[in-house]
Structures are given as structure tokens and as C-alpha cells.
Amino acid sequence: MQGADIFVESLRREGVDTLFGHPGGAILPINDALYRAGMRHFLTRHEQGAVHMAEGYARATGKPGVVLVTSGPGATNIVTGLTNAFMDSTPIVVFTGQVPTAAIGNDAFQEADIVGITHSCTKHNTLVRDVRELASTIKEAFYIASTGRPGPVLVDIPKDVSNGDCEFSYPESVNLRGYKPTVNGHAGQIRRAAEMIATAERPVFYAGGGVVLSGAHEELRQLGELTSIPVTNTLMGLGGFPGNHELAMGMLGMHGTATANLAMDQADLIVAIGARFDDRVTGNLDEFCVHAKFIQIDIDPSSIGKNVQVHLPIVGDVKYCLRQLLEMLRGVQKDWRTAHQDWLEQIAAWKVAHPLQYTQEPDGELMPQFVCEQIYEVTKGGAIITTEVGQHQMWAAQYYHFSQPRKWITSGGLGTMGYGFPAAIGAQVAYPDEVVIDIAGDGSFQMTSQELAMAVQYDLPVIVAILNNHSLGMVRQWQQFFYDGRYADTSLEVSPDYVKLAEAYGAVGLRATEPDEVRPILEEAIRLRRPVVIDFPVKMMENVFPMIPAGGSIKDMLLA
């Protein structure tokens, strides 16, 4: 069988029916094989878009997203997406074309050492040097991407390999002696965790993206309800615990709710569940949670004890560890509700004292938070929401109360502008009948807006809601607070007319300028079932609050 056909057959064995990519000389044999086999390939307008689409697809479904690009510039254009997927533990498998093996190292046309370039931004990568290794390399790539702490895997395929020929045999299983992820938590450690939880007075569950990735949202809800322990989510963890639950405190960290950050500060026990103590969560480590002991549950041992010293580490899959923990805690004779009464009352009081809030301008100028609230209400909290990176991302995280996992798709670790729109397209490909909305900023949207052509070509009814403040709002906010209002290079005074831009691509362009237009225009956009861009010109100088400045602590929190 030809290498390119082995590729297609191997993907079929992995259950893949969708690829995102952009063709080129070195990868052509594979595009041709996909065409002959009738496998679905979405032609993106830039390779960065292809990776973010695969990420969106993977985050919405839990299955690895698949990317196919050519050598050289096709390969180097995917580095941002790979790094994004690596930081956010998103399972994707990326195939790059490569110049023929005999030409490697000769600075051939469209040659790039993509394996070397992506060593530090992939979970694993491989150059296939012989067509006989192609099937087993693909098998391993999917296994590595989707097990343990998920992540991006890159497979580089020289043209003579995809054109080569050998007998096809697909391995039944994978055995990598250097890769054996731990699934179950250590029973002794889980028992000690249960004891610490049972004796804590002011405990907090600090739940991250690992809850979503391992599908442990149900276990987390049960654990919260059993123990009456309040829950805060990281940005990546939103949807891992119902946002409207009485125990939910919302997001924590730099732009987290005051309640979540105050609770962390006052807690005597913090149970980190699939969360990695990112600097946007901790701020100044010397002043972070000074009263607390830490339990950390994570499938990746290197995430434990990296930023803060943990009193009780548990290595394992969050879902399995929480099940073990639940079982032990169910055996504890304790009236949890009464025991945590004072703590829960304190938290309720913080919620009343410091709600998320904004002031509606008397002149009727659109407020970005209001638009996010309206999106939440119109979709009844059920849409798949993606975002770009910046102020709009934080407002979406604050004002859209996610109650289910895999409905919130955002760039957390890397903070990649231009992520949300292609990610929305990827999610829409996975779920054609769902409402998918990219809550975007005008700065970010311009980084990958060319994918409008793809949304139109494949009739994907993605909605882009641009909170248009004619500036790079988050950077402008920092300039206002920390650079004495010197607004260097943050004004987007020349911008496209987004309605016309959408129309130029054959999509629908809409605009709402008054608060009472927002809801009907959103309803219309959803009803149309076509790619839609909605321009919401919003107040330019609005800032995201609360805010704990970078490297600060709870005592530096700005509420308004």
C-alpha cells in the first residue's frame, strides 16, 4: 500500500473523519489520498487557523483534533497553535509534510526542521524516516496526544515516505516503555487527603482545566455537595462546576471574583484539582494563601510542586482520584453543612458585598459586560462560547455562567489573540446544530478573520460577536493603570467596517449600537443559521474589574 493510503487507513482506524489543513508540495500525496478516499478535509486560509480549529474541535468533543499542513512555511505557521495546545493540554495530532529524506538538511525548497523547532512546544514529535514506521507512528501519536495529560503531537512525513510503498498492518496496541501515565491515585495519599478535608474549617476546592479534560464535572459536583465545600474555577476550569450553583464562587485570580480570591486568602485548606497554580492565579507567591495547606491532584507529576509547595500531592487522573476520594468521604460521619456553616455564611456575605458589577452609561453607550449578559440570556447558557484574548475574554468568563463542561473554549496559558474564531469554527464542525459564538475583541478578530472565507465555504453558522472598543483594550487598561495613561500603540483607529468585511466574504454583517438592539440582533443572528459577524461598538475606556495587578496579592485588589 502507498504511504499516503496507509495514512488515510490509519486515521480511519483511529476514528478520525475530519481534518483541518492547507496543502502544499510536500504533503500533496496525502491530500490526494484523502480526496480519493472521500475523507473530510477543511481548507483553512492560514495554517494557524487550522491548528486552532483542531483545538476547538478537540475541546468541544474530547477527541483529538487533526491537522494536515505542508513543509516549510506551512509547518512554521503552526507553531503558535502547537504552543497554545501544549499550554492548555489540548489533544491534537498535527501532520506536516517534509521534503524527501534525501533532501533533508540541504536547505531544500520549503524545508524547515519542524521537529527541532517544535521540541519544546509539543508533548512529542517524530520524523517518519521509513514508510514501514508510518502506521505505528500514527498509532503512537494518537495514543500520546489523548492519554495522560493531553497535548499536541506532531508527525513529520517526508514526501518519499508518503509516496513509498509497504504492506499495511496497524498495531493493536501501544507499548512505550518511557510513557505510562498514572490513572488511579495512591490509596494512602487519598486517605490522607480525606482526613485533611474532614478536619479543615475553611476548605476550598480550586478546580482547573483538568476537571474538564478528564470529564470529572459530575464527580466534582457530588464532592462539593457531599462536603458543602465552596468551589472556585480557573479560567480553563469554567464549566467544570455549575456556575449558578450555591457553592460556586466563580473564577479566581487576576480578574476573578472578589469572593473567590477572598476565600482563597482566608482558606485553611485548598484542594487543587487539575489546576497548576498559574501566576495569573497566584500573583505574589509569598502572599498567596498564607493560612492554607495544599492538596494537589494532577495527572502530570511535573505540575505538582512547580510553583507552590504542596503538603499532599496526588498523582492521577482527576476523575478516578475524585471517585476514590468520594468513596472515602462518604464513609466519614460528619454533619458537613453545620461544620461549614460559618464559612459558607462568610462566603455568602462576600458575594453580597462584592458582586460583579458595572455601571450602565446614562447616554446609552453599549457596555461590553451588558452584551455578554445578553448573550448568556439569549442562549440560556447553553451555547458553545469561544473567545479571543483580552478584556472581552475576561468579561465573557465573568458574565457567562457556564454550567456544563466543553461549552467554554478559550486560550488560557498562552493567551493567543486570534484563537477564538477558528476555535469556534472547529467546534461548529464537531456540532453543526449547536449555537457557537465567538465573543471577540476587534484587535484579536483581525488576526484570523480570513477564516470567514472558510466558514462561508463550508456553511458553518458561527457567530462572531465583536466587542469593538477600537483599541487593544487590555493592554490599554494596563497603560492606564501602570504607564500613566501613555497609550502607546494600542489605538486601532483605522479598522475595517466589520459589517462590510463580513459581507465581502459572503457572510452576514450586523451591528447594534443601542442597548435595546442587542437582544433582537442576537436572536436574529442565531435564527439565520449562517456565518454572522456582529459589530457591537462598546465603551472604549471600560476596564475589567476586579483586578489584582500582576505580581500582587489580595490586598492589591482593585474593585472599580
Cell numbers representing residue 495 in the block: 479598522
**Which CB atom, from 496 or from 552, has the smaller least distance to another protein?**
552
Per CB under 8 A, 95 contacts another protein:
no
Please report whether residue 132 would count as binding another protein according to CB under 8 A.
Answer: no
Which residues in the 306-335 window bind another protein by CB under 8 A? 306-309
Among positions 116, 364, 506, 520, the unique one binding another protein when judged by CB under 8 A: 116
**CA quadruple 245, 249, 250, 255: dihedral, nearest 10:** 170
Judge contact between 205 and 224, C-beta under 8 A.
yes
Give the C-alpha separation, 448 to 451, whole Å: 6
Specify whether 334 is catalytic: no
Answer for which of 127, 190, 436, 534 binds another protein (CB under 8 A) is 127
Does 299 bind another protein (CB under 8 A)? Our answer is no
Q: Which of 447, 474, 547, 557 is catalytic?
A: 474
For residue 238, the minimal CB distance to another protein (Å) is 25
With CB under 8 A as the contact rule, which of the stretches 295-303, 478-486, 490-498, 519-527 interacts with another protein? 295-303
139 touches another protein (CB under 8 A) = no
Of 187 and 290, nearer to another protein (C-beta) is 290
Q: How far is the CB of 87 from another protein (least distance, A)?
A: 13
Q: Does 267 bind another protein (CB under 8 A)?
A: no
Which 8-state DSSP code applies to residue 237? T
Q: How far is the CB of 84 from another protein (least distance, A)?
A: 16
Chain-centre distance of CA 12, in angstroms? 26
Q: Is there a catalytic annotation at residue 474?
A: yes
- Taking the C-alpha atoms of residue 70 and residue 74, their distance in angstroms, rounded to an integer, is 5
Q: Would you count residue 144 as binding another protein (CB under 8 A)?
A: yes
Judged by CB under 8 A, the number of residues near another protein is 28
Q: Judged by CB, which is closer to another protein: 129, or 470?
A: 129
* 237: CB partners within 8 A, 6+ apart: 207, 208, 209, 210, 211, 212, 274, 275
Q: Is the peptide bond before 515 cis (omega within 30 degrees of 0)?
A: no
Q: Is 557 a catalytic residue?
A: no
Cα(175)–Cα(136) distance, rounded to whole angstroms? 11
109 a catalytic residue: yes
Residue 140 or 438 with smaller CB distance to another protein: 140
Catalytic residue, from 109, 327, 341, 500: name it.
Answer: 109
Alpha carbons 472 and 353: distance in angstroms, whole number = 31
Q: Which is nearer to another protein, 72 or 313 (CB)?
A: 313
**550 is a site residue for another protein (CB under 8 A):** no
Among 12, 36, 40, 119, binds another protein (CB under 8 A): 119
Q: Which stretch binds another protein (CB under 8 A): 44-52, 242-250, 303-311, 410-418?
A: 303-311
Are 537 and 513 in contact, with CB atoms under 8 Å apart? yes
In terms of residues, how long is the chain? 560
Residue 286 touches another protein, criterion: CB under 8 A: yes
Q: Which range touches another protein (CB under 8 A), out of 115-123, 183-191, 200-208, 234-242?
A: 115-123
**DSSP 3-state of 207:** strand
Burial class (CB within 10 angstroms; exposed 0-12, middle 13-18, buried 19+) of 224: buried
The torsion angle over the Cα atoms of residues 350, 352, 353 and 356, rounded to 10 degrees, is 100
Stretch that binds another protein, among 173-181, 352-360, 434-442, 500-508 (CB under 8 A): 173-181
Q: Is the dihedral of CA 160, 162, 168, 172 positive or negative?
A: positive
300 binds another protein (CB under 8 A): yes
- Please check whether residue 269 is in contact with residue 200, taking contact to mean a CB–CB distance below 8 angstroms: yes
According to CB under 8 A, which one of 34, 254, 258, 289 is a site residue for another protein? 289
Kindly tell me which residue out of 41, 46, 59, 123 binds another protein, with binding defined by CB under 8 A: 123
Contacts 24+ apart (CB under 8 A), 361-366: 361/539, 364/514, 364/515, 365/538, 365/539, 366/512, 366/513, 366/514, 366/515, 366/518, 366/536, 366/537, 366/538, 366/539
DSSP string, 443-458: HHHHHHGGGHHHHHHT
**Annotated catalytic residue within 20, 42, 47, 86:** 47
Contacts with 440 (C-beta within 8 Å, 6 or more apart), sequence order: 387, 388, 392, 420, 421, 464, 465, 466, 467
The only residue of 175, 244, 302, 333 in contact with another protein, by rule CB under 8 A? 302
Contact residues for another protein, defined by CB under 8 A = 115-116, 119-120, 123-124, 127, 129, 144, 176-179, 285-286, 288-290, 292, 294, 300-302, 305-309
Catalytically active residues are: 47, 109-110, 159, 474
